[in-house]
Amino acid sequence: MSEEHVLHLSLWSITPFAGLLLTIGLMSFIATNFPHNKLGELWESNTNKLIIGLLWSLPVLYLLYAATQWGPLWHSLHDYFSFITLLFALFVISGGIYLKGDLKATPLVNTSFLAIGSVLANFIGTTGASVVLIRPFLRTNSQRKNVSHLPVFFIFSVSNIGGCLLPIGDPPLFLGYLKGVPFFWTLNLFVEWVVAIGLLLIVFFVWDTLQYRKESEASLTQDKQAFTSLKLMGGINILWLVGVLLAVIFITPNQLAQWGLAEGYGKFLREYLMLFMAGMSFLTSPLTCEIRRENNFTFAPILEVAYLFMGIFITMIPALEILKINGAALGVTQPWHFFWASGTLSAVLDNAPTYLTFLSVAQGVTAANPTAYSIPAELAHLGVPASLLTAISLGSVFMGAMTYIGNGPNFMVKAIADEWGYKMPDFFTYIVKYSIPVLIPIFVVITLLFLK
Q: What pLDDT score was predicted for residue 164? A: 94
Q: Break the chain into its structural domains and give their ranges.
A: 3-450
318, pLDDT greater than 50:
yes
Q: Which pTM was predicted?
A: 0.81
Q: What is the pLDDT, as a whole number, of residue 328? A: 62
* Amino acid, single-letter form, for residue 283: L
- Note the pLDDT tens digit of each residue in 155-170: 999 999 999 999 888 8
Cα separations in angstroms, 22 against 17, 19, 274, 312? 9, 5, 33, 12
Residue 317, pLDDT score = 86
Q: In 141-235, which residue ranges form alpha helices assigned H by DSSP?
A: 149-157, 171-178, 190-212, 217-225
C-alpha distances in Å from residue 109, one per residue of 35, 201, 205, 207, 311: 32, 12, 10, 14, 38
pLDDT digits (tens, 9 = 90+) for 371-423: 888 899 899 888 899 999 999 999 999 999 999 888 878 888 888 888 888 88
